[in-house]
A and B are shown apart, each in its own frame.
Chain A
Amino acid sequence: MEPTSHSFPANARAGLADPILQTALGLARTGFPLRRQQAIARLPEFEELREEGRAIKDHTLANLDFYLELYERNVTAAGGQVHWARTAAEARAAILDICRAANAKIVTKGKSMVAEEIALNDHLEANGITPVETDLGEYIIQLRHEPPSHIIAPAIHLMKEQVADAFRAAHTELAPARPLTDPRALCDEARTVLRPRFLAADVGITGANFLVAETGSSIIVTNEGNGDLTQILPRVHIVITGIEKIVPTLEDTATLLRLLARSATGQEFSSYTTLSTGPRRTGDLDGPEEYHVVLLDNGRSALLGGEFQDMLRCLRCAACLNHCPVYAAVGGHAYGWVYPGPMGAVLTPALVGVAEAGHLPNASTFCGRCESVCPVKIPLPKMMRHWREREFAQHLSPAVYRSGLRLWVWVAQRPGLYHALAGIAGRVLGWAGGFRGRFRALPFAAGWTAVRDLSAPEGRSFQSLWAERQRREGRR
């Protein structure tokens, strides 16, 4: 999808003004953190596991070439095929080729953010192939022709009435007057409508949460079972995934799996964690005949060895989104691309450029909640700051902020001048606001006073009062 991250401020304002979105966000804002907290409370070793998870990922990234080559050998030995894609275009082309070779008309899809990243659905449709999203959230947004707003709960921005509207408009073969007022009915209808699509699919495409180098396996972690039906029913199974998903061994994978569901939804383990290794074996009664893995770079390898390498540890659990007050205020669409929230604020500039996505790492208070809940300890605020450093060096921030900062910094390095100005400002503002104790409006502070009062200074600066006290007490 084409990024609209450059319009983040306008996108954010739209999100703030949307009452349905605000209601939907309100549901998620407290639910996710509470459930995560409850899950971790039951696992005393959680903090140790976070440290182990971080170490496993760092070790893998430092030796990523070795593990990718090992993984490829094992996929091939199991009868699968690995395709390497430097760019989104190469990945789309590889997938289209496989689908064409399979004479695919219908392709079912499990939820994959990488597939969104490369805009796969549009490409398939443009080439006469029908992609059918099967994850309930992804299916709903596919009907509504909108992008996902959350990396694990794509339709989190919607209330049930909007889902019902989308179903009524799309499922015209069903009785128009049927009741669709509760989520149970909506879920049942999706199940009924999608089951024939699963069975009719020629190709099934999934993402991968992990790729196990030791065994050449891809792993999906889901709750619905749609990813599994996507990959076992069609003749061809394609996995589209980033190169950073590699994990060395099954044991390492178990460690990361213990972190993932707890961090994402507060579950002990997701309903379905599935390892797929190659196509069906001789004698198997079901399973795909072909198994393909498309390994996507698209800017990931460039992050190695630099300030942003830690971002490649990301498990895509969405804990950072779920705990971010900015995400909770504006929702995922405001970020303008595939990856919202704190992880999106770091990853999006890396993949689409800081000129396009520069707002995202700026729209943060650095409260640090994201980093504190990240299962693999990614220092998200630090990397957002690195993006700000790049923007500063490239003069990408608005001139008014730059010059305001210049002025502040200039004065701050001249303590004598600073104290004199502070004294004057304190006196003036203290006098102006003294009686009421606050300003309802103030020139140059309109952004603040539009929505809040500004406390009046007490009238003297601390330094001048302290100097006076020192003189009174005969000290210096």
Chain B
Amino acid sequence: MPGPARVALLVTCLVDLFRPSVGFAAVKLLEQAGCTVEVPRAQTCCGQPAYNSGDRADAKAIARQVIAAFAGYDYVVAPSGSCAGMVKLHYPELFADEPPSLARAQELAARTHELVSFLVDVRGLDSVAARWQRTATYHDACSGLRELGVKQQPRRLLASVDGLTLTELPGAEVCCGFGGTFCIKYPEISDKMVTDKAADITATGADAVLAGDLGCLLNIAGKLSRRGSRVEVRHVAEVLADMTGEVPAIAAPAP
């Protein structure tokens, strides 16, 4: 394992508001991987809602805030492919014609990673000490998959979880229909997409479904729950950090 590293956690607004456990699971995993973790207070949002709504000016303002808040750390890690992708790929694009800001954006982008790919590709982790007696299937969140190449890394770590059997999800790479503002603007289309995703998940017969992005997970959990499904929905970090006993699954009642 490489030497100690100073990591800043990019919490993401959804984790902050809806499921802090994911944040704590990320911290635990990062500490196990030899990192010290800090959480810059001045972070709020990565700016995706503004960016994807065509509001470049506000996206830039938020991006500058993020760049400033995360200055000086060895790495910036987010338990979300879409937020990490926003910083890594889209911040440089935002500042493409502003050389000074572009340089800062590129500098931040180079140090920013999605959580599981950071653990495997940068910290060299190939197993975790965790136990979870379940069959689970895995949904590949789009940004992580296509912007950041997150595919094998979660599967590799999940394979080391004691008692866990992974079964591949047909259509794992098909979008679940969340898409941030999309599910609000085009709710019927979003519903169709998440209905199909829920049907695919149910058809695997797995006890649980995992993914690396809370937006997808809230969407999928909401649909499975509405259909009366007993499939457990969790963020992959909770499983890898062996914290599944500490918090109920998403949209599930307290035990």
Do B193 and A329 touch across chains, with their CB atoms under 8 A apart? yes
Instruction: Answer whether residue B101 sits at the interface, using C-beta atoms and an 8 A cutoff.
Output: no
**Which of A180-188, A204-212, A277-285, A462-470 lines the interface with chain B?**
A462-470
Do B21 and A401 touch across chains, with their CB atoms under 8 A apart? no
Known: A415-B43, A438-B225, A454-B218. A365 touches B192 (CB 8 A): no
Select B42's contact among A330, A369, A415, beta carbons within 8 Å: A415
Do B54 and A392 touch across chains, with their CB atoms under 8 A apart? yes
Q: Name the A residues within 8 Å of B178 (CB-CB).
A: 365
Task: Determine how close the nearest CB of chain B comes to the CB of A333; give it in whole angstroms.
Answer: 14
Known: A388-B53, A457-B17, A463-B41. A372 touches B61 (CB 8 A): no
Do A422 and B187 touch across chains, with their CB atoms under 8 A apart? no
Known: A330-B189, A363-B186, A454-B222. A390 touches B21 (CB 8 A): no
Q: Name the B residues within 8 Å of A255 (CB-CB).
A: none
Q: Name the B residues within 8 Å of A435 (CB-CB).
A: 253-254
Do A388 and B39 touch across chains, with their CB atoms under 8 A apart? no
Q: Name the B residues within 8 Å of A437 (CB-CB).
A: 248, 251-254
Residue of B nearest to A426 (CB): B17
Do A452 and B18 touch across chains, with their CB atoms under 8 A apart? no
Q: List which A372-428 residues lie within 8 A (CB) of chain B.
A: 372, 382, 385, 387-393, 397, 401, 405, 408-409, 411-415, 418-419, 422, 425-426
Residue of A nearest to B39 (CB): A466
Q: List which A432-463 residues lie within 8 A (CB) of chain B.
A: 434-438, 440, 447-448, 450-458, 460-463
Tally of contact residues, B, Cβ under 8 A: 72
Do B16 and A401 touch across chains, with their CB atoms under 8 A apart? no
Residue of A nearest to B142 (CB): A367
A382 to B219, CA, bound (A): 24
Chain B CB count within 10 A is highest, among A385, A393, A451, A455, for: A455
Do B18 and A325 touch across chains, with their CB atoms under 8 A apart? no
Do B146 and A372 touch across chains, with their CB atoms under 8 A apart? yes
Do A329 and B192 touch across chains, with their CB atoms under 8 A apart? yes
**Which of B44-52, B105-113, B122-130, B160-168 lines the interface with chain A?**
B44-52
Do B183 and A369 touch across chains, with their CB atoms under 8 A apart? no
Do A422 and B185 touch across chains, with their CB atoms under 8 A apart? no
Task: Determine how close the nearest CB of chain B comes to the CB of A259; give it in whole angstroms.
Answer: 20
Task: Determine how close the nearest CB of chain B comes to the CB of A398; give it in whole angstroms.
Answer: 9
Q: Name the B residues within 8 Å of A28 (CB-CB).
A: none
Q: Name the A residues within 8 Å of B53 (CB-CB).
A: 388, 392, 397, 401, 405
Do A452 and B20 touch across chains, with their CB atoms under 8 A apart? no
Residue of B nearest to A30 (CB): B171
Instruction: Answer whether residue A362 sits at the interface, using C-beta atoms and an 8 A cutoff.
Output: yes
Do A405 and B55 touch across chains, with their CB atoms under 8 A apart? yes
Do A364 and B179 touch across chains, with their CB atoms under 8 A apart? yes
Q: Name the B residues within 8 Å of A30 (CB-CB).
A: 171
Tally of contact residues, A, Cβ under 8 A: 67
Select A461's contact among B17, B61, B192, B248, beta carbons within 8 Å: B17
Contact with B along A318-348 (1 / 0, CB 8 A): 0000000110011000000000000000000
Do A9 and B186 touch across chains, with their CB atoms under 8 A apart? yes
Q: List which A287-313 residues lie within 8 A (CB) of chain B.
A: none
Q: Name the B residues within 8 Å of A325 (CB-CB).
A: 174-175, 177, 193, 196
Instruction: Answer whether residue A368 sits at the interface, using C-beta atoms and an 8 A cutoff.
Output: yes
Task: Determine how close the nearest CB of chain A comes to the CB of B192; give it in whole angstroms.
Answer: 4
Do B146 and A462 touch across chains, with their CB atoms under 8 A apart? no
Do B55 and A455 touch across chains, with their CB atoms under 8 A apart? no
Do B188 and A461 touch across chains, with their CB atoms under 8 A apart? no
A456 to B20, CA, bound (A): 12
Residue of B nearest to A323 (CB): B174
Known: A367-B179, A466-B39. A13 touches B54 (CB 8 A): no
Select A16's contact among B15, B174, B189, beta carbons within 8 Å: B189
Select B18's contact among A364, A365, A401, A455, beta carbons within 8 Å: A455
Known: A369-B146, A455-B19. A12 touches B250 (CB 8 A): no
Q: Name the A residues within 8 Å of B182 (CB-CB).
A: 363-365
Known: A16-B192, A365-B142, A369-B146. A388 touches B187 (CB 8 A): no
Q: Name the A residues within 8 Å of B42 (CB-CB).
A: 415
Residue of A nearest to B233 (CB): A455
Known: A329-B193, A365-B179, A451-B187. A438 touches B44 (CB 8 A): no
Do A368 and B143 touch across chains, with their CB atoms under 8 A apart? yes
Contact with B along A220-236 (1 / 0, CB 8 A): 00000000000000000
Instruction: Answer whether residue A431 sits at the interface, using C-beta atoms and an 8 A cutoff.
Output: no
Q: List which B215-255 residues lie within 8 A (CB) of chain A.
A: 218-219, 221-223, 225-226, 247-248, 250-254
Instruction: Answer whether residue A269 sits at the interface, using C-beta atoms and an 8 A cutoff.
Output: no
A466 to B192, CA, bound (A): 37
Do B23 and A462 touch across chains, with their CB atoms under 8 A apart? yes
A438 to B47, CA, bound (A): 27
Task: Determine how close the nearest CB of chain B comes to the CB of A396; give it in whole angstroms.
Answer: 9
Chain B CB count within 10 A is highest, among A413, A458, A463, for: A463
Q: Name the A residues within 8 Å of B192 (CB-CB).
A: 16, 329-330
A382 to B218, CA, bound (A): 26
A367 to B82, CA, bound (A): 10
Task: Determine how close the nearest CB of chain B comes to the CB of A290; give it in whole angstroms.
Answer: 48
Known: A365-B177, A465-B20. A447 touches B222 (CB 8 A): no
Residue of A nearest to B62 (CB): A412
Q: Name the B residues within 8 Å of A426 (CB-CB).
A: 17
Q: Name the A residues within 8 Å of B250 (CB-CB).
A: 455
Instruction: Answer whether residue A46 sits at the interface, using C-beta atoms and an 8 A cutoff.
Output: no
Do B55 and A392 touch across chains, with their CB atoms under 8 A apart? yes
Task: Determine how close the nearest CB of chain B comes to the CB of A274; give it in whole angstroms.
Answer: 36
Do B54 and A388 touch across chains, with their CB atoms under 8 A apart? yes
Q: Name the A residues within 8 Å of B121 (CB-CB).
A: none
Known: A412-B44, A462-B20. A448 touches B254 (CB 8 A): no
New A-B pairs, 6, CB < 8 Å, besides A447-B184, A451-B194: A389-B56, A405-B58, A418-B44, A418-B45, A451-B223, A452-B219
Q: 10 tightest A-B contacts by CB?
A: A365-B179, A452-B222, A388-B54, A392-B54, A462-B20, A367-B175, A389-B54, A367-B142, A368-B146, A455-B251
Q: Give 18 CB contacts A-B under 8 Å.
A: A325-B175, A326-B186, A326-B189, A365-B180, A367-B142, A369-B142, A385-B51, A389-B54, A389-B56, A405-B53, A409-B49, A415-B42, A434-B254, A437-B254, A448-B184, A455-B221, A461-B16, A465-B20
